[in-house]
Structures are given as C-alpha cells and as structure tokens.
Homo-oligomer: A and B are copies of this chain.
C-alpha cells in the first residue's frame, strides 16, 4: 500500500513519485493550497494539495485531524525560505496527485499536541490515541530496543531463554498473590507468580546452567508508589558462578546497554556496603548524584539532658544523625524549615532540629538554633567539628528509631538535593552489597531482607542458627540514580541451610513441606551452587527514557486502582462462569 515511510522522504527522492500511508497530523489552508503534515511510525512529511487537482482537492478538504489516508505524489525540494531545519524531512515536500481516505476520524477526545491537558484517566481510556503522540511511540520503540539488546547480549553469553509457568502455586508472600480459580480442580486456586524465583532455581537444578527470561510478574498490592499489578522482570540465573561473576556479567550488560542506546559510558560500578549506604545516605538505594551525606552524632549526645537527643542516642535501636547542607544557611527560611518538618513527618519523624552556622570562627556564638539552649557548648562544638561544618552551612538533625531517622533524613537529603538543584546531570550506578540476612519485625521475629532462598556469607547452617541477626547475606542490588534497577543473590543450594532459614523465619516443618516441599526435595538430588539477579525492566526503561512514571513506558498500564479505563477491566463475571469455577461472590458488609 505504500512505497516509502513518511519519515524516509528526503532530498534523494526529489523528482520521484512516492506512495504513503499515515495520519493527518496537521492541516493548514494557506494561499489557496492545503498543507498537510502526514505522520506514520517513522516520522512526518509535508504534503501540498493544489486546487488545480479538483477532485483531489475536494477530498483533501474533508480531512481533519487523525484521518487515516493513503496518498501518492511527487517529491520536490522546498523553496529555501520554507526549509524547516527542525524537521527530518524539512527540506522537501510532496505534491499530491492521488489521495484516498482510508478511515475518517470523529472529533478527538484527547488533545494530541499538548497532552498535559489530558487527564491520566482520559489518556488511558483512549490509549490508542495517546500512543500516537511521537513522544509515547518513541518510548515504546526504545523499550523494544532495550529488550532486543539485552536478549542479544544474553544469547551471545550462552544464556538460555526458558519460559516458566504463569499459572502456578501460591508463594510465601501469599497475601499479595493474584489467585486464579481452577475449573478442573474445583475449590482450588492457581496463583500468578510474583517472580519465577523457584522455577529458575529448579532450572539450575535441571542443569540448564545459564537461564534468562523477560517475563511478566504480578503483585496485588496498593499501587501508590508508581507500581503496576503486572510488571516485567529481566530474570537471570546461573550455576557455578560466584556473586562477583554474576555482578560482573550483569554490570557489563548494563554498561553495553547504556553505551549502545544512549552513548553513555557508565564506567565501573563502585560497590558500597549496606551499612555504609544506610550510614551516609539513609537508604539502601542511594542517589549518588546528590553530594550530601549524613553523619552520625549519637555518641556526642549520649550525655546531654535534652531527651529528644539523649533518648535515641542511648537506645541501641536509635539513631541520631546530621545532614549538612553546605552554604545552605541562608537558603532556608523559617517557613521552609516548617515545611521540611512536615515532610520528614511523613516518615515518622516527630520534628526536625537544625543549626545554622553563621560564623564558625565565633564558636557557639556564631551558631543559630532553637536547640542550642539544650546543648552544652562542648557538645555543640563537637558536632560542628564532626560534621566539618563551615560558615554559611546548615545542619539538619534526625533523632529517633534507626529506621525512622534513616528514612526521614534520607528522604530529606533527596528533597533538598532536588530543590537546591544539587542533582548532578550524570549517571551514578553502584552495587550495594553485604546486606544483613534478616531484619527484625515489630514483634521481634525476623524477616528476610531479600527472600528466604538467599544464601548467607561465610557461615554453616549451625552458625547461622546461632546468630541469624548478625549474619550477612550474599546478596547484591544494582542501584542507578537512586533507583534499585536490579537485585539478586547467591541462593541456598544446601538442604540443611534452607531448613534452618525456614526455622529462623518461624516456618514450621509442616508448613515448609507444604509450601516448599518440592524445593527441599530438589535440593536432595545434586543441586548445583547457583546465583542470579532480576532487573525491573519498566523502571530501567523509565530511567533511560527520562519518563516520569512506569506507566509512560508501558503500552496498556492500569490506573492506580488497578483498573483499565480502556477495556473497563476488571468486569463482571456471568453466573454460569462462577458456578463452573465453584465460587460465589461474597461482598463484605458495608
């Protein structure tokens, strides 16, 4: 139906007849002529319709935005004065000689130029129009390039693309499973996988050596933080490879991806321990583009009478930390600080203490802060010394439970970094390593920081049992500009070790057998040492395209209430279907 794509028309075709198919991106009537911008997947070209061609002109006169057309015409150079250098095809135009309307378009429910006028709901309802905007189309194109590059890399490194089931067994994090009633086994349910974790481990036990899959995963949870019920994972697993080797190959893959698609050289990724990341950045996914760091000061404050500081300073689970903003003293008004105080409140912080350093040479006299009256002079000075604060700096303080301070001041660091324009315009990847195996729950129980199949570092099963909370795991997260783009670990391949981990997590023998019997079984038959990693494809593409939400890099995302305004899913099931599945709807009482 066409000889060329719109975006391919250039000066080399001048004098030739071409046939195009596409959409009317814009129409202008000027000096008796009709000018059309015709758009297809590869670009836009200008078409001129001359009234001398009567029938043609009358057809062209019917054209409105987004009509789908086919046209033939001669390519000609534009007069110098009309060359449009911002357009790939801006040196030429097409003088139409034939025109067919393939499909008309009713008045559009979306504004196709400035999409900011369109609500998210409207954009999703008319997604097929929203995706016609070149910006959106480019993102999907870019996403396809990312997966293609990654596949080529992994294929050429002997990784095998293997599909794992979508209809599978419920997982430990069952509360977030999507369930699927079975018609054949009435009263029983499949679950959609939150990740192919156990299947990829089984593939290693099957001797597949190097596995990958770009695969949908599912999690039925509240969607606040830009999450989606279904998301895509680049899932990788290897046998007989150490953590270092897995990190090396996936780092190399990421480096090549950025080089090939963005011409960005990421360099070698630094490694940082979990402890260092939490200490300096209050986060296990630090954004290293921001040059602000936290400094612990609890030891300086253990003796003060001011309970806000001395309480957490003396609590083994407390933390007191300062965040220094160099030359920030005159950048924060009282009102600004009040807002920052509200902001850290989101993370549970009960207040936000601060000290402005007006003149460091004057000792405490040169400091300004509502809290100075509660601090002995030598303590105030010790803090200035510890943080190496200088004239013009401001210090913010968090003092609370360890996690509250880390989260609140970590978030404050990002907020101030952004609002003061301190975020460097570069890519800052790193590996975070040496995570604790477990973290403590409110009730004193332990929960795995990654998942219960993560191997510990340097301990036997018996040693792990004795001090689980002190053991580090052999896990590693790849972090890029403050976003965790990938995470993985060496897995447990020893049956005893796996059983001890279940025990520590309070999973009894019977429960372990019911939920993971097949894994424990599989570990009996010569399971190899294995390790892997999973990337979040949506987030990676979001970062690489500069999109502000993962919804903008997915063709058909759901809303934040997990619905699809386009198809109106979820919808009602008919009674016969439900009867066949042996289920009934039982709405909760209002």
Question: Interface residues of A, CB < 8 Å — how many?
Answer: 126
B177→A179 contact, CB < 8 A: no
Tell me which residues across on chain B come within 8 A of A51, comparing CB atoms. none
Question: Is A68 at the interface (CB under 8 A from chain B)?
Answer: yes
Identify A205's interface contact among B128, B181, B190, B567, CB under 8 A. Answer: B128
CA distance A567 to B586 in the complex (A): 29
B182→A562 contact, CB < 8 A: yes
CA distance A106 to B184 in the complex (A): 34
Question: Is A252 at the interface (CB under 8 A from chain B)?
Answer: no
Total copies of the chain: 2
Tell me which residues across on chain B come within 8 A of A586, comparing CB atoms. 579, 582-584
Tell me which residues across on chain B come within 8 A of A562, comparing CB atoms. 182-185
CA distance A187 to B578 in the complex (A): 11
B160→A144 contact, CB < 8 A: yes
Tell me which residues across on chain B come within 8 A of A185, comparing CB atoms. 561-563, 570
Tell me which residues across on chain B come within 8 A of A555, comparing CB atoms. 162-164, 199, 203, 206
Interface residues of A in 501-543 (CB under 8 A from B): 517-518, 521-529
A163→B564 contact, CB < 8 A: no
A10 to chain B, nearest CB (A): 18
Question: Is A189 at the interface (CB under 8 A from chain B)?
Answer: yes
Given A208-B137, A562-B185, answer yes or no on A167-B556 (Cβ-Cβ < 8 Å).
no
A206→B131 contact, CB < 8 A: yes
Instruction: Give A209's nearest chain B residue, CB to CB.
Output: B41
Identify A573's interface contact among B179, B184, B522, CB under 8 A. Answer: B179
A254 to chain B, nearest CB (A): 19
Interface residues of A in 142-193 (CB under 8 A from B): 143-144, 147-148, 151, 155, 160-170, 174-175, 177-192
A173 to chain B, nearest CB (A): 12
Question: Is A494 at the interface (CB under 8 A from chain B)?
Answer: yes
B528→A102 contact, CB < 8 A: yes
Tell me which residues across on chain B come within 8 A of A166, comparing CB atoms. 166, 192, 216, 218, 230
B563→A128 contact, CB < 8 A: no
